[in-house]
Amino acid sequence: MSKEVSPKVDPANVLEIEELVLEGMDISGHWNRMFEQRIITDYDVRQLDRVTELDGGESMGWCYQCAACIAVCPVDHVGSYGPRKLFQNLQLGFDLFTDPDLWLCTTCANCLRVCPKEVDMMQIAPAIRKEAVLVGNVPAELQDVFEKTARYGNPLGKNAKRRAAWTKGLDVEVPLISELGRRVDVLWWVSDYPSYHPRGIDASRSLARVLAHLGVDFAILGAEERHDGDSMLRAGETGLFEMLAEQNIETLNQYEFDLLLTTDPHAYNAFLHEYPERGGDYNVAHYTQYLAERIDDMGLSEQVDLNITFHDPCYLGRHNGEYEAPRDLIKALPGAELTEMWRTRENGYCCGGGGGGMWLDGHAAENQNMRLSEKRVLEAVETGADTLCVVCPYEVSRFEDAVKSTNNDGALQVLDIAELLAQALGLAAD
Ligand code: SF4
Ligand code: SF4
């Protein structure tokens, strides 16, 4: 076999070599690209540039296609998604500003947890959505919620004056802080679904009973409370978020309280990370954290003979690192057994409600082969548990709908931890 080898390749001159054959293999040409800055000419990078030039969109350009994110992205499990695929699509010239994919990310943060390059969808998705919102390119169901929230102060479009109606006829007192006219230990930020949704109200009434049982000095804001805005921010409605935050901070700053107690992990997230820089700096706790510290004072005595599996809310767990408090409460229920799903804690599967997903069910159904809440309910059923315990107000209704749509009625009940605690305390249910 003939050999054509350049025996004296001087590395200093390597860039000048145009032809080189080694053992019959032509390695001339552009092999020297390793020594030069790589200039991409094969792709139309204009769409990628549009994203990376946004404030918050920069990290989209850092993706190096390792695919770690794909394995953990909940949307990819019911379709084709994840930062890696979005990056590829942008390289192929897809306009993500108008593509339905823009609205599928729930900002669950599981990709960021595993991404070696810190590609941050929690920044990227809202940054692109903000541009889409500015030109009115928003799915109709989400636009409707933006408008209701702006008008009524809650995404359900309910009358603000009826916000405390859930307390009527309750066997314990739930005072309004404006009527008390004094400082309280705990100001309870009830949130929208616990104030208006029938199943959210069940959980609120249970939590009120538990707080009263513990002798907590608490009050609520009632009609003065508005949506916390966190999900609006993730959905790209920055202006609406700023308006809500300003109004809520103005309201809260009128009153004196030691602790702001939130039912909703999204509100908890907003009060921890968004409100302080806007003048709303409070001592905040999620209700599971507050109650977990008082387990010994509760006197849980009634048997709760249930096999319970637990769903970690993304905005309590991955976003804010709280995994133990809800589990401590479940484990304290007399007679109850906790059976974990295989995707749990840091790798917990998203219910689909974050990042505006709460109001994009139609869009998700059109663009995925299954809703995330349905996938999660199937995982809960797989454990053999009879009860799915939740600690986020988005979840009771989402999972109850999913129990029905997956034909698991009767196999799995969905209960808030407050309902389970009230049961273990023998407190009256409605
Ligand atoms: S994990 Fe990060 S770097 Fe890897 S493919 Fe996903 S976004 Fe890109
Ligand atoms: S934040 Fe969650 S839903 Fe969005 S791309 Fe990452 S893993 Fe997927």
Same domain as 387, residue 333: yes
Contact, 257 vs 175, CB < 8 A?
Answer: no
Residue-wise pLDDT for 194-212, tens only, equals 999 999 999 999 999 999 9
pLDDT at position 317 is 98
Domain C-terminal end among 292, 310, 344? 292
Of all protein residues, whose CA lies closest to atom 5 belonging to ligand 2?
82
Higher-pLDDT residue of 409 and 16 is: 409
In ligand 2, the atom with minimum distance to the C-alpha of 106 is: 3
The answer, yes or no, to whether residue 2 has pLDDT greater than 70, is no
In ligand 2, the atom with minimum distance to the C-alpha of 83 is: 5
pLDDT at position 19 is 64
Residue that the structure tokens 């509100």 belong to: 267
Residue-wise pLDDT for 65-113, tens only, equals 999 999 999 999 999 999 999 999 999 999 999 999 999 999 999 999 9
Q: Which two tokens stand for residue 215?
A: 């002798």
The answer, yes or no, to whether residue 15 has pLDDT greater than 70, is no
Same domain as 384, residue 246: no
**Ligand 1 neighbour 68 (Cβ under 6 A):** yes
**Ligand 1 neighbour 272 (Cβ under 6 A):** no
Residue-wise pLDDT for 239-252, tens only, equals 999 999 999 999 99
Residue 429 lies in a domain: no
pLDDT at position 6 is 44
Residue 39 lies in a domain: no
Least confident of 12-21, 240-249, 260-269, 365-374: 12-21
pLDDT at position 59 is 97
Predicted TM-score (pTM) of the model is 0.90
Residue-wise pLDDT for 328-360, tens only, equals 999 999 999 999 999 999 999 999 999 999 999
Same domain as 260, residue 198: yes
pLDDT above 90 coverage of the chain, percent: 89
The answer, yes or no, to whether residue 174 has pLDDT greater than 50, is yes
Residue 430 lies in a domain: no
Of all protein residues, whose CA lies closest to atom 7 belonging to ligand 2?
73
Task: Give the helix/strand (H/E) hosting 111.
Answer: helix 110-114
CA 61/CA 53 separation, integer angstroms:
10
Residue 260 lies in a domain: yes
Nearest to 193 by CA among 233, 145, 147, 130: 145
- Mean pLDDT across the chain, nearest whole number? 93
Nearest to 390 by CA among 351, 334, 333, 429: 351
Q: Under DSSP, is residue 123 helix (H, G, I), strand (E, B) or coil?
A: helix
Residue 38 lies in a domain: no
In this structure, how many other beta carbons lie within 10 angstroms of the beta carbon of residue 40?
A: 9
CA 158/CA 262 separation, integer angstroms:
20
Q: Name, in order, each residue with C-beta under 8 angstroms of 364's C-beta and a sequence gap of 6 or more.
A: 104, 352, 357, 371, 372
Residue 409 lies in a domain: yes
pLDDT at position 18 is 56
Same domain as 300, residue 288: no
Nearest to 393 by CA among 73, 142, 166: 166
Same domain as 299, residue 288: no
DSSP, residue by residue, 206-261: HHHHHHHHTT--EEE-GGG-----HHHHHTT-HHHHHHHHHHHHHHHTTS-EEEEE
What value does the mean pLDDT take over residues 27-34? 57
**Ligand 1 neighbour 369 (Cβ under 6 A):** no
pLDDT at position 3 is 39
Domain C-terminal end among 87, 104, 134? 134
Contact, 260 vs 187, CB < 8 A?
Answer: yes
What value does the mean pLDDT take over residues 129-138? 98
Same domain as 280, residue 153: yes
Residue-wise pLDDT for 274-316, tens only, equals 999 999 999 999 999 999 999 999 999 999 999 999 999 999 9
What value does the mean pLDDT take over residues 378-398? 97
Query: What domain count does the chain have?
Result: 4
Q: Under DSSP, is residue 384 helix (H, G, I), strand (E, B) or coil?
A: coil
Residue that the structure tokens 């319970």 belong to: 308
pLDDT above 70 coverage of the chain, percent: 91
**Ligand 1 neighbour 190 (Cβ under 6 A):** no
Strands 307-310 and 387-390: parallel
Least confident of 13-17, 159-163, 366-370, 374-378: 13-17
Of all protein residues, whose CA lies closest to atom 2 belonging to ligand 2?
108
Same domain as 411, residue 343: yes
Of all protein residues, whose CA lies closest to atom 4 belonging to ligand 1?
66
Question: How many angstroms does the Cα of residue 360 sit away from the middle of ligand 2?
Answer: 15
Residue 36 lies in a domain: no
Of all protein residues, whose CA lies closest to atom 2 belonging to ligand 1?
115
What sign for the dihedral angle of Cα 410, 415, 421, 422? negative
Write the CA distances from 430 to 247, 304, 347, 380, 396, integer angstroms: 34, 18, 36, 27, 17
4 confidence band (pLDDT: 50, 70, 90): very low
Same domain as 257, residue 184: yes
Domain C-terminal end among 226, 257, 292? 292
Pick from 121, 350, 358, 367 the residue to mutate for probing ligand 2's pocket: most ligand atoms within 8 Å of its CB. 121
Residue 371 lies in a domain: yes
240 is in which domain, residue-wise? 143-292
Same domain as 263, residue 223: yes
